[in-house]
Amino acid sequence: MRLTQYSHGSGWACKLAPSELAQVLKQFEQHKALKSENLIVGLDNPDDGGVINVGDTKIIQTVDFFTPILDNPYDWGRVAAANSLSDIYAMGGEPLSSLQLVCWPRDEISFDVLAEVINGGLDIMAEAGCTVIGGHSIDDKEPKYGFSVTGVIKDNPILNNNILDKDKLFITKPLGIGIIATAIKKEVASDDEILEATNIMASLNKKAMEFGKDYKANAITDVTGFGLLGHLSEMLKGSKLSATIYSEKVPVINGVEELLEKDIFPSGSKRNLESIRDKLIFDIDNKKIQIFSDAQTSGGLLISLPNNVNIESKEVKEKYGIDVWEIGEITTQYNEKINII
């Protein structure tokens, strides 16, 4: 069975573009349901998750679900769970509990397959120490799976827009997931590409969060449906600062550039690029720009660290077990635009 054939897109490539979503949400900016004296982070200043005070405790809430990005049901479940947890980690929190979200074509795909999906999701939640306490399911022609996750923050949340001039930008996973997912759907991805993409997506961002906190990150976001450039643009919004990205330093999954040569590029990633094109300054190969706009599923963290920190990748690997790449810096040159060189 090829689960990806039941999806009109692949994972986060199904997500609405930032400009599309903003067009709808701007109608409700003053709605009283969006206001509370206990609200710390909400839709008036969107971040990776919402944060609200409950007594002396700061609670993070987030939700993520998507269509099949892999044909292996167990691995799809693992990736969906890791992706759902990522927003909690991006804000410096710890996951506490979660609810499963299931949409399933009851007459077309066996419930045994659904059991494999759920098993994968539960295994990742167990790895994260996040208790699954329930969920909701509906009959749907297109399968979807994910979680609503509740987390706690002991200190103040790490916001995605607290960047400072001269900050150094780091990323913790290579790019190209959306392109490989599209190649899987089109049956042109190699076994090695599928395996590498699966391992990247199923890995938790917990250690990346610990790295960011230990090095006093000014801002963190996870790189998912809007791509690297889309999420970086969100970090810059309202800051009057800009960013420079060193294209040759951005990590890319093996085989992705070759897939682009075959015109493998998700529609969601195309929408990402069009929605932020006016925020970009570049004079490099357009394929690099496509990769940087590619919709990631369970991507890494984009971390903005103070200029005075010196990061040795080998030491980070030994201490946290993760890879990190320094890919750019925050500047004052271009007023909320991204300069790619």
Mean pLDDT by 10 residues, the chain (341 residues): 80 66 86 86 72 89 93 97 94 95 96 98 98 97 96 81 94 96 93 96 97 94 93 92 97 95 90 91 91 95 96 94 97 95 95
**Residues 150, 151, 154, CA angle at the centre, nearest 5°?**
155
Q: What is the pLDDT of residue 158?
A: 75
Q: Where are the beta strands (DSSP E) in the chain?
A: 39-41, 50-54, 57-66, 94-104, 131-139, 144-153, 168-171, 219-222, 242-245, 280-282, 301-305, 325-331, 338-340
Give me the domains of the chain, ranges plus CATH numbers.
3-153 (3.30.1330.10), 168-340 (3.90.650.10)
Question: What H or E segment, with its residue span, contains residue 239?
Answer: none
Query: Using CA atoms, how far apart are residues 70 and 11, in angstroms rounded to an integer?
Result: 9
Which two three-digit tokens encode residue 228?
């690297």
Give exposure, 173-189, as e/b (b: 16+ Cβ within 10 Å): bbbbbbbbbbbbbeeeb
The DSSP 8-state label assigned to residue 146 in this structure reads E
Query: Using CA atoms, how far apart are residues 68 and 188, in angstroms rounded to an integer?
Result: 17
Q: What is the pLDDT of residue 12?
A: 53
The three-state secondary structure class of 135 is strand
- 325-331 vs 219-222, strand pairing mode: unpaired
pTM for the full predicted model: 0.91
Q: What is the pLDDT of residue 154?
A: 83
